[in-house]
Amino acid sequence: MGITSVSIQMPYWWLASQWAILRYIAAADHTVRRLILHKAAEDLDTHHKKVLSDDWGVGFALQWLISRLHYKGIAHGAIAMKELQKRKIAQYVQKKKNGPFKCPDFFAFDSQNRIHLIECKGNQRGPVETIRQFQRGREQKQNILFQNENLVAQRLLTGISIAGYDSNWTSTLMVADPDPELKSSYYRIDAVSADPLIRSFKKVAVIQGLVAAGVWSIAKSRFPEETSAGDVPSVGEERISTFEALKKRWFGQIYEMPFPIPLKLEDGGIITGCRMRLGIAEGFADELRKSPGTETEEIIQERDLDLKLTHAEQDSGEEEIEPKASDKQPVRRYASIQHGDALLADLEMLEA
């Protein structure tokens, strides 16, 4: 959720890439295997609970969809739409008389280069509330009309209902692809093939990756219009770190956060903190930095940017952690989002 929410037009909002971890890592009850909120979450007021539901509605849905449908790429809906408008692929049609005007939360494309529109919902009231939310989602699905509707694979609605500590129902993720209510549209996308759309999605992913990794000099020089921060000055010299992950060398930002109180896990493990890294591959950064600005577009399009998710139950590609002196082998709690060999965001839980 954090990575997909980075705004390329406000680079000084880099905190968005870490927000999901800083805000929500202790919100779940980690002492049980099923997903429920910690009992302390009951103290939150309605507004804060709604924000949590909205954020988790994005995070859980995207992780599930990418891992099951194997999307090659995904882009924030509003940011991608602005890029499509800049390329004169998408155009404003008309303002509807009623219903929501926003575009879907995300665009994605699959291995066949077909487009998926995704609208995400979340709540803490139960699956019945998700069904009600889907009605509004159906209205939002009609907001974009494609000149060639054959480019669209699915117009998905997702909704997660998150159980509380005392709920008598279980957390549930629902996914649906209902027919849109085709009354009127807000945007029209004029494209015969998916190629120009995918070029836009890849560009957005690269800019978001640069901003999240804190490589501001490249983002600003190569994409001055997209990353414009107005008259806000930069802080001076970039504070960039280098690191190795997935058998490659990256540079960007490393954040390590110790917890004031350890988190106890269902399997007996104890988490004392976490480490988050956001980076760009050194070779890719050099290409962007040294090549003329007119070649930036082609450098991006020629690069492998396919999405790949890695988690603790898979081979992370790194050397094994040194075993502890005890008989019990440590469990590596690791997850990453990788855009081909170009961009990386990873997270590791640090155990006692």
Evaluated on CA atoms 15, 16, 21, 26, the torsion sign reads positive
Q: What is the pLDDT of residue 135?
A: 82
- Mean pLDDT per block of 10 residues along the chain (352 residues) reads 80 73 89 94 89 94 94 93 92 58 87 95 96 80 84 94 96 88 74 96 94 89 85 70 92 93 92 95 92 89 94 52 46 90 94 84
For residue 232, the model assigns a pLDDT of 65
For residue 128, the Cα-to-chain-centroid distance in whole angstroms is 26
Four-residue CA torsion sign, 198, 311, 274, 240: negative
Question: From CA 310, how far away is CA 337, in angstroms rounded?
Answer: 7
Of the candidates 194, 219, 213, the residue with the CA atom closest to the CA atom of residue 14: 213
Measured CA to CA, the distance from residue 93 to residue 40 in angstroms comes to 47
- Edge-to-edge strands, sheet with 343-351: 241-245, 248-264, 270-281, 343-351, 334-339, 307-311
Q: Any residues with CB less than 8 A from the CB of 321 and at least 6 apart, and which?
A: 330, 332
> What is the model's pLDDT at position 187?
85
Note the pTM of the prediction, 2 decimals: 0.87
User: Does residue 215 contact residue 193 with C-beta atoms inside 8 Å?
Assistant: no
What is the structure's pLDDT at 291?
Answer: 83
Burial 16-46 (b: 16+ CB within 10 A, else e): bbbebbeebbebbbbeeeebbbeeebeeeee
- What's at 47, amino acid-wise? H
pLDDT at 11: 63
Q: Are 69 and 110 in contact (CB under 8 A)?
A: yes
Domain ranges of the chain: 3-351
Model confidence over 79-105: pLDDT tens digits? 999 999 999 999 877 654 444 557 889
Cα 43 from Cα 306, distance rounded (Å): 41
